[in-house]
Amino acid sequence: MARKIGFYAMLAYVVYGFLVYGYLFYFADTSLPFEYQGSRADPATFMNARELMLSEEYSKIRNLMFFLSAPLEWLIYLLILLLGLSRAFKKWGQETTKNKFGQAAIYVIWLSFFTFLLTFPLSYLSYNLSRTYNISTQSFPSWMKDELIDFWVSYGMMLVIVFVLYWLINKSRKFWWLFAWLLSIPFTLFIMFLQPVVIDPLYNDFYPLKNKELEGKILELASRADIPAEHVFEVNMAEKTNALNAYVTGIGTNSRIVLWDTTLNRLNDDQILFIMAHEMAHYVEKHLYIGIAGYLLLSLVGLYLTARVMNWAIQGYGKDLKVGDIGDIRSLPLFLMIISMLAFAASPLSNFVSRYQETRADRYAIEMTDHPEAAITSFQELSQAGLSQVNPPLLVKIFRYGHPTMLERISRLEEYEIQKRNREAESP
C-alpha cells in the first residue's frame, strides 16, 4: 500500500506540473484589455520591446516555479514518511542520546537537512533564473550564505516549536491544538519584535538614511500622519538585486521604515515620497495589527483542522506512513505537510485581504502627496526593475499577489489624475 500511495502521489505531481505549465504557457491570458491599450498602464508605453519579451518569459517561468514548489514540499514530506526515513531519524536520535531535547534536536536536524537537500535544486534554479534575467546581482557565495542562514534560523525556531508541540500533544491529546495556538500568540509577537533588530541584520546591513534632506521630507510626511518616527533606514540591496522595494517592519519600539538603496538610486524624491506615504498608510490604518489578528485566526482554524486530519490519517494509514501515534515525533512530516497544504489553500483569502489593504494604502498615499505623475512613474519603474507582468493570469493573481496588479494600480491613479485636472479646471 505504501508503494501505491507513493506512486500515485508522484504521478499526481507530474500531472499537476503539466497542467500548470499548460495553463501558464498556453491558456492564460495576459493581454491588456482594449480599453487600457495606449494608457499609462500599458507596458508598451514604458517598456521597450526587449523588456516586454523578457517580462513575459521571466514571469511565466517564475510563476511555474512557484506553483511547483509547494506541492514538491508536500511530496517530500510524504516520501519521508513512506520510505521510513522519519522512523530512521528518530532511531538515530535515540541511539545518540537519552536526553529528550537532544533526541528532538537530532531528529529535526536530519529532517531539515533532507528537505533542504531535496528542495535545493528548485531553489538554485530560482536563483539562477533571477541572475539570467538580471533581477539578481548576487554572487553564488553570497546567495549560499543567505541560504545557510535561512537553514539555521529556521532550524532553531523549528526545534523550539517541535519540542513544545509534542510535549503539548502528549499532555493533552484532545486540546493540544488549542494550547499550541495560545502559545503561538506571544511567540509570534516576540519574533516580529525581534525581526528588525536581530534577524534582518543577519542578511543585510541597515543604517540611517544618508540623504538627510530626503529623510527630512519623509519625517515631515510622518509628522503629518502622526507617526512617531525618528529615523528612516536604508539597506544595501544593490549587491543582491536590481529590484526596488520599501517596507515597514517590526512592532512597538522596534518598528522601522526601510528603503532599499536600489529604490534610492533609481527613483526621484517625489516618487520615493509617494512610496513612503504608502508605507505610512499601513501604520496609520493599523494594517500590521489587522494582519497579525488575521494570521492568528487562520492559525487557530489551521491547527484545529491539522489535528483532525492527522488523527484521520494515522488511524487509516498509520501503518503505511510508519507512524502509530500522533504524539510520536515521527508524525512531524505529516504535521508539516498538512500545515503547508492548509496555508496554500488559505493564500487566496489572505492575498485578497492584503490586496484590499494595499489599495487603501495607495489611495492614502496619493491623497497625501497629491502627485499622480510621481505615483504613476514610480509604479512603472517598479514594473521595469522587476520585469513584472502588468496584467498577470487570474490564478497567479489569486495565489501569488498580495498587491493589486500594476494594471489596477496605475489605472486608478490615472482616474485620480483626471479628477484632479477636472477639479483644477472648475476652480476659479
Among 414, 408, 369, residue whose Cα is nearest residue 391: 408
Provide the β-strand partners of residue 246: 259
d(CA 99, CA 159): 14
End-to-end CA distance of the chain: 81
Check: CB of residue 336 under 8 Å from CB of residue 119. Answer: no
Q: In what order do the strands lie in the sheet with 246-249?
A: 206-208, 233-235, 256-260, 246-249
For the record, the C-alpha cell of 291 comes out as 494582519
**Residue where the block lists cell 504535521:** 335
**Residue 403 annotated in ligand binding:** no
List 73, 200, 234, 279, catalytic entry:
279
List 362, 417, 424, 426, catalytic entry:
362
d(CA 283, CA 275): 13
d(CA 89, CA 86): 5
**Residue 282 annotated in ligand binding:** yes
**Residue 358 annotated in ligand binding:** yes
Q: At what angle do helices 372-386 and 406-426 cross, to 10 degrees?
A: 160
Tell me whether residue 362 is one of the annotated catalytic residues. yes
d(CA 320, CA 317): 5
CA dihedral 384, 386, 390, 394 (to 10 degrees): 170
Tell me whether residue 200 is one of the annotated catalytic residues. no
Check: CB of residue 266 under 8 Å from CB of residue 227. Answer: no
For the record, the C-alpha cell of 167 comes out as 510535549
| SS3 of residue 115 by DSSP | helix
d(CA 187, CA 403): 27
Output the known binding site for Zn(2+).
Answer: 278, 282, 358
Output the known binding site.
Answer: 278, 282, 358
Return the active site residues.
Answer: 279, 362
